[in-house]
Amino acid sequence: GDAHLKTMVESGIRSDLKYLSYQLLPHIIKDQTTYIKLSDGQLLPLEFFGAHNLMNMEAARLVCKQIGIETDAFYQAISTFKGAARRLEVFYKDDTRVVFRDFAHSPSKLKATIEAVTQQFPDRNIACLMELHTFSSLNKDFLPQYVGCMNNAKEAVVYYNPETISHKKLPSISAKDIKDAFQHPALRVISDLDELKLYIQSLRNDNRSVLLMSSGNWGGTDIAGIFKV
């Protein structure tokens, strides 16, 4: 678990709050569907996946229990929940590919999101495009925290807008700075908007999973238009 969070809880900062610990539920992945194992041995299929989502689901179950919603009712409702917007959200899907949008931009979330898609779709290559957009992610001193976080993606691309860096009054960064930080053997860095659009258009081809990860807007690129969503 989170050691810092554990220390905060054990320090008893808020005596008026009730603290409940939770963990990842037992689950299996079969035919690109995640099933959680219920206490009676049954398997409950879900319409979302990924360790972060499953842990959030368990936290929600515990909260619901505190306000009187029984576990059976919770599971019945959660089985039709398609997930939160921009949290491994299915943006486009056809017979040969699936495109996800995700808000992930921190190193830990980036790594976890890629791992989730790898486990859910083991027979597909992953094309992963992420945008450096936040103040911290565009900070040259913060970049090394991204080391290895995209290594599970066969095709990894990082986009950043130099104008955003200037607007945030941060020191400039280069493609080399980003490649040195991520240490992905085949990382491609894009900083030109036209090049970005051409690359996204290329993602419409081939049998693969596509991850579009950003808290920004890809420089205003009409991604929905490209995929004809």
Strands ordered across the beta sheet of 33-37:
27-30, 33-37, 43-45
Q: State how far the Cα of 227 lies from the Cα of 212, in Å rounded to an integer.
A: 12
Q: State how far the Cα of 53 lies from the Cα of 24, in Å rounded to an integer.
A: 9
Return the pLDDT at 1. Answer: 58
Pairing of strands 188-190, 208-213: unpaired
**Mean pLDDT score across all residues of the chain:** 91
Q: Provide the residue ranges of all domains of the chain, joining segments of one domain with +.
A: 3-78, 89-226
Closest-CA residue to 209 (of 110, 109, 91, 103): 91
Q: What is the pTM of this model?
A: 0.85
What is the DSSP secondary structure assignment for residue 145, as one 8-state letter? G
pLDDT by residue (tens digit) across 20-43? 889 999 999 999 999 999 999 999
pLDDT by residue (tens digit) across 104-136? 889 999 999 999 999 998 888 899 999 999 999
Which residues in the chain show pLDDT less than 50? none
Return the pLDDT at 229. Answer: 59
Closest-CA residue to 105 (of 154, 58, 141, 142): 142
Sequence-distant (≥ 6) Cβ neighbours of residue 51 within 8 angstroms? 24, 112, 115, 116
Return the pLDDT at 218. Answer: 92
Q: How many residues does the chain have?
A: 229
Pick the CATH number of 89-226 from 1.10.357.10, 1.10.10.10, 3.90.190.20, 3.40.50.740: 3.90.190.20
Do 226 and 196 meet the contact criterion of CB atoms below 8 Å apart?
no
Return the pLDDT at 58. Answer: 97
| Beta bridge pairs of residue 93 | 98
Pairing of strands 155-160, 188-190: parallel
